[in-house]
A and B are shown apart, each in its own frame.
Chain A
Amino acid sequence: MSDLARPLAEAAERLFARRCGAERVNAAERGEWPQDLWHAVEELGAAKLLVPEPRGGAGGDWQDACALLKKAGEHSVPLPLAETLLAAAALARAGMEIPAGPLSFACAGPQARLERGSRGWRLSAQLAGVPWGAQSTALVLALARGEREPPLLACLPRASFEAVPGRALCGEPRDAVSLSAVEIAQQNAAVLDSVDALAWGALGRAALIAGALRRALALSVEFSRQRVQFGRPIGQFQAVQHHLAVLAEETAAANVACDAAAGACGTPWELACIAAAKTRAGEAAGIGARIAHQIHGAMGITCEHVLHQSTRRLLTWRDEYGAEAYWARRLAECFRSRGDAPLWSLVSAATGREAAA
């Protein structure tokens, strides 16, 4: 862990443990925006964590970001933390202004129509499932422009688009955003060189998943300690113990895959490691949610029990910014592009970080 990651994760743990209990999450899912929690998160420096210090950020790296997002995932923090953090990082990378407040972050492909406008660009698009689209002060959108041209990053102030609120299974806002011939001023768009915005989003989701799995595991261990059947806690049954063990393994795998990807950021293996992390974390999310529910029995599918806050998020996050099949395909493509070197030499190079000489 870096110098920043540990204290940041500890501060986040204290904050979320105190201020982000089950009631808070439920209230947010009913539509209450937790403004004071958002303020506390901003004070933590979380929103501008990946923004360089000269630009007013914390100058953190991906290991710091993953450490923070794991905590957010663990506590089901009902805020666009990952989105704001990624949007701010992308804006900083593109040399653009970073608006205050919560930001939304999305990617758009060929469905968006981008034209040269009178003062910059003109954009039309219908976007589904935009996280916190309505609640954000701005939507930061990475626009793919085909094979030849690098993507364009656009910062769209909230007033410039329509957003119909919606909610995904996770209970967080996933809104339908409609942009009709929105004029984008020159200073609100820039070429996004050497950044795969979708990959950034994927790594953010992988970190959230890793954290949520940890929570699902903790709840499962606790439940199996307390729930008594046939005269003893169900955690004493080997069948249940084996479920717990596999859940722990999946949790560990998702966490390590994330750490490996965070460590590879900025190296030639960044994309491959992120692809592996999202694929593996997505796989773990599915297995983990299933096991956690199996252990909790009927209790776990009730509104009253807190488990669903984690499992609904696991099942939503694994599909966002590319599901397993998508990233598995990209991963194969990453290796294909390396030519016909012996496979182990590629795998070991991708996963083993060398110390600087």
Chain B
Amino acid sequence: MEFFAPEFELPLIERRTGALRAEVRAFLDKERAAGRFEPRCNAWMEGFSADFSRRLGERGWIGYHWPRSYGGRGGSAFDTLAINEELLAAGAPVAAHWVAARQSGPLLMRFGTEAQRQRFLPRIAAGELYFAIGMSEPDVGSDLASVRTRAEQRGAAWILDGRKIWSSGAHHCHYMLVLCRTAPRDAGERHAGLTQLVVDLKARGVSILPIRMLDGSHHFNEVLFEGVEVPPDMVVGAPGDGWRQVTSELAYGRSGPERFLSTFPLVERYLRAVLSAGPGAGDPAAGRMLARLMTLRAMSLGIWAALGAERTPAVEAAMVKDLGTNFERDTIETVREALAADERLAGDAALAQALAAAIPLAPTYTLRGGTNEVLRNVIAKSLQGA
């Protein structure tokens, strides 16, 4: 392989995608005007609205590129990207269905049985069915291969015991995709013996305990499994294949535009104020933010093109996630400084308020979906040819 040849080939986007984008934008304008949502940062995690997700589903805007037989509209991957970008840019409340559409659905599409696809995908696309991520555990964060939650076969069914933590929105979700151990640990084969199960969060033996965030809000949960009976048809892929699958799931989870657009509502408000006011000494700060944003967007398109071509751009996604989430953190600092230093923003109470709202949960940006340190390890290993 040629040294350092990341795949960021920039794609050409079809015109109909532009038309779809305009349609989504018009819908969002109307929703906002009707007071159905207020733009907010980090809305793909903090903005829960079952009603809004259902309205998106009615329009076909969840899993738009999925085959029609699974509730999609048979569009291109770029159609879905355009829809997602518009939703994120608007700060729309998409948290309810986000994980299901982004990673659980695609995982089932790739590794699930036909019956599983028929059962789950159309309802995910309808915006009615939500999934939680079941990876981290109380003692297992970045080092996923060490999960201790385990399932044993009893008759045909699997009996699940253990606990998952940091499960965003699990208290609203219907199912969790649980990564668990189904064979004893083998020191030589750390990644063997793992399996993914779809677990009904209403099943007997499941308890969901809230974990309050530092600002008192409730997104995280700890989920306990005590002798939970999981029917055999809820195994995803082959038992023991969990590691390979969860790696794919992580790639889906890391590749999207939410990894640099979490603070876009704040960015929009700031840049709009600066640009509308005429030239000023704060322009270079605004321009730098734009330059980084445009570059991230171009990189993100490159990743999406690779995904659409059935490749797994894991290293590229790690690079964009590290750059993108640090960009998100930096946007907060740029706005904070501009509020104090750029006279064009003096007295902009709405901007100050948006800034204040973005700060409490900003530390999550560079932690979720794999900490940036773990991502840097992934990138370095690929550079070193390991």
**Closest approach, in angstroms, between the C-beta of B373 and any C-beta of chain A?**
7
Q: Which residue of A lies closest to B294 (CB)?
A: A276
B37 within 8 A of A: no
A252 within 8 A of B: yes
Contact with A along B1-32 (1 / 0, CB 8 A): 00110101111111100100100010000000
Q: Which residue of A lies closest to B264 (CB)?
A: A344
Partner of A357, one of B8, B15, B271: B15
A89 to B25, CA, bound (A): 41
A103 to B290, CA, bound (A): 34
A353 to B78, CA, bound (A): 12
List, in ascending order, chain B residues with CB within 8 A of A355's CB.
Answer: 12-15
B343 within 8 A of A: no
- A354 touching B18 by the CB < 8 A rule? yes
Q: Which residue of B lies closest to A343 (CB)?
A: B268
A151 to B230, CA, bound (A): 74
- A329 touching B376 by the CB < 8 A rule? no
- A257 touching B298 by the CB < 8 A rule? yes
Given contacts A263-B10, A328-B288, A348-B297, contact A343 B271 (CB under 8 A): yes
List, in ascending order, chain B residues with CB within 8 A of A352's CB.
Answer: 13, 297, 301
Max chain A C-beta neighbours (<10 A), residue from B3, B275, B291, B293: B291
Number of interface residues of B (CB under 8 A): 60
A225 within 8 A of B: yes
List, in ascending order, chain B residues with CB within 8 A of A244's CB.
Answer: 379-380, 383-384
**Closest approach, in angstroms, between the C-beta of B78 and any C-beta of chain A?**
9
Partner of A347, one of B6, B15, B294: B294
- A235 touching B384 by the CB < 8 A rule? yes
- A273 touching B6 by the CB < 8 A rule? no
B85 within 8 A of A: yes
- B3 touching A259 by the CB < 8 A rule? no
- A259 touching B10 by the CB < 8 A rule? yes
A252 to B317, CA, bound (A): 12
B-contacting residues of A (Cβ < 8 Å)? 1, 214, 217-218, 221, 225, 235, 238, 241-242, 244-246, 248-249, 251-253, 255-257, 259-260, 263, 272-273, 275-277, 279-280, 283, 324-325, 327-333, 335-336, 340, 342-345, 347-348, 350-355, 357
Query: Mostly helix, strand, loop or mixed at chain A's interface?
Result: helix
- B284 touching A241 by the CB < 8 A rule? no
- B4 touching A351 by the CB < 8 A rule? no
- A329 touching B287 by the CB < 8 A rule? yes
Partner of A276, one of B18, B85, B278, B290: B290
List, in ascending order, chain B residues with CB within 8 A of A249's CB.
Answer: 319, 322-323, 379
Given contacts A340-B276, A354-B13, contact A257 B291 (CB under 8 A): yes
A-contacting residues of B (Cβ < 8 Å)? 3-4, 6, 8-15, 18, 21, 25, 82, 85-86, 89-90, 264, 267-268, 271-272, 274-276, 278-279, 283-288, 290-299, 301-302, 316, 319, 322-323, 373, 375-377, 379-381, 383-384
**Closest approach, in angstroms, between the C-beta of A190 and any C-beta of chain B?**
31
A342 to B319, CA, bound (A): 28
- B319 touching A252 by the CB < 8 A rule? yes
A277 to B299, CA, bound (A): 13
- A344 touching B12 by the CB < 8 A rule? no
- B272 touching A253 by the CB < 8 A rule? no
Interface CB pairs A-B, < 8 A, 7: A245-B376, A256-B10, A257-B294, A273-B294, A336-B278, A343-B271, A343-B272
**Closest approach, in angstroms, between the C-beta of B386 and any C-beta of chain A?**
10
- B291 touching A256 by the CB < 8 A rule? no
Q: Which residue of A lies closest to B86 (CB)?
A: A344
Q: List 19 other contacts, CB 8 Å, given A328-B286, A342-B25, A348-B82.
A: A218-B3, A221-B384, A225-B384, A241-B381, A244-B383, A251-B4, A253-B296, A255-B8, A256-B298, A279-B291, A280-B291, A283-B291, A328-B291, A329-B284, A331-B291, A344-B85, A344-B86, A354-B13, A355-B13
**Closest approach, in angstroms, between the C-beta of A349 and any C-beta of chain B?**
9
**Closest approach, in angstroms, between the C-beta of B29 and any C-beta of chain A?**
9
Given contacts A245-B383, A345-B25, A347-B297, contact A256 B8 (CB under 8 A): yes
**Closest approach, in angstroms, between the C-beta of A251 and any C-beta of chain B?**
7
- B298 touching A260 by the CB < 8 A rule? yes
A235 to B381, CA, bound (A): 10
List, in ascending order, chain B residues with CB within 8 A of A348's CB.
Answer: 21, 82, 85, 297
A223 to B267, CA, bound (A): 40
**Closest approach, in angstroms, between the C-beta of B186 and any C-beta of chain A?**
25
A333 to B275, CA, bound (A): 8
List, in ascending order, chain A residues with CB within 8 A of B283's CB.
Answer: 328-329, 332-333
Q: Which residue of B lies closest to A328 (CB)?
A: B287
List, in ascending order, chain A residues with CB within 8 A of B292's CB.
Answer: 280, 283
List, in ascending order, chain A residues with CB within 8 A of B276's CB.
Answer: 340
- B12 touching A354 by the CB < 8 A rule? yes
Q: Which residue of B lies closest to A63 (CB)?
A: B10
**Closest approach, in angstroms, between the C-beta of B361 and any C-beta of chain A?**
22
A327 to B291, CA, bound (A): 9
- B319 touching A259 by the CB < 8 A rule? no
- A332 touching B13 by the CB < 8 A rule? no
A245 to B272, CA, bound (A): 34
